Chain A
Amino acid sequence: DAGVIQSPRHEVTEMGQEVTLRCKPISGHNSLFWYRQTMMRGLELLIYFNNNVPIDDSGMPEDRFSAKMPNASFSTLKIQPSEPRDSAVYFCASSLRHFYEQYFGPGTRLTVT
């Protein structure tokens, strides 16, 4: 069975540009999480969905960040406009029964110049 799929794996963009990160959770999983990981702050939960509905977006740093989950097999995280301090690795994770048993994707390494 395929794991969590994220695309692109690497993204380099200039400040001010719009960035869209994509995630396909494991089939059948009903919860989806977006994280950001940096050396300084570690792994931070940005938002999570349950049955496609956003449950908690308190971790979204600013209005420049938005996330959607139009169906059970697809989610996007958008940053508009992007800034250099958004440079990080963004992970998507999904879970089935237990929120603590999350399966992570390989991440998208974002660099904003």
Chain B
Amino acid sequence: QKEVEQDPGPLSVPEGAIVSLNCTYSNSAFQYFMWYRQYSRKGPELLMYTYSSGNKEDGRFTAQVDKSSKYISLFIRDSQPSDSATYLCAMATNTGNQFYFGTGTSLTVIP
């Protein structure tokens, strides 16, 4: 079983839609939960991170962590064509000695 599971998609939505991206994990020691965005032929860039449980909002992006279900989500409101990219979740223990990325979900926002 993989440490982190992520649906690869692809996901295609019309502009303005709300997008929901999800990951599940198995290691209860994970405390840091990150979302990275990767444009085609570029390196990933950190969007946001959450420590432990709860929600975090940054503009149109909201990250949620449910540790009881071992499930994390990224919501994108009012999606834009510029949001078209691959979104990777990542998780780590407190010390970072275990750090894993999901395989990524490809998102296309259609104008």
Q: Does A93 reach chain B (CB closer than 8 Å)?
A: yes
Q: Does A107 reach chain B (CB closer than 8 Å)?
A: yes
Instruction: Classify the secondary structure of B's interface with A.
Output: strand
Q: Residue on A with the closest CB to B49? A: A100
Q: Does A56 reach chain B (CB closer than 8 Å)?
A: yes
CA distance A56 to B103 in the complex (A): 21
Q: Which residues of A contact B42 (CB under 8 A)?
A: 106-107
Whether the Cβ atoms of A100 and B88 lie closer than 8 Å is: no
Whether the Cβ atoms of B45 and A42 lie closer than 8 Å is: no
Whether the Cβ atoms of A42 and B97 lie closer than 8 Å is: no
Q: Residue on B with the closest CB to A9? A: B41
Q: Which residues of B contact A99 (CB under 8 A)?
A: 92, 96, 99
Q: Which residues of A contact B92 (CB under 8 A)?
A: 99-100
Q: Does A12 reach chain B (CB closer than 8 Å)?
A: no
In the complex, which range does the number of interface residues on chain B fall in? 20 to 34
CA distance A100 to B43 in the complex (A): 15
CA distance A42 to B32 in the complex (A): 19
Task: Find A107's partner among B34, B43, B103 (CB 8 Å cutoff).
Answer: B43
CA distance A41 to B104 in the complex (A): 10
CA distance A99 to B99 in the complex (A): 9
CA distance A57 to B18 in the complex (A): 40
Q: Does B17 reach chain A (CB closer than 8 Å)?
A: no
Q: Does A49 reach chain B (CB closer than 8 Å)?
A: no
Q: Which residues of A contact B99 (CB under 8 A)?
A: 45, 99-100
Whether the Cβ atoms of A100 and B96 lie closer than 8 Å is: yes
CA distance A101 to B34 in the complex (A): 9
Q: Which residues of A contact B41 (CB under 8 A)?
A: 106-107
CA distance A93 to B36 in the complex (A): 13
The 5 A-B pairs at the shortest CB distance, nearest first, are namely A104-B43, A42-B103, A99-B96, A43-B101, A100-B32
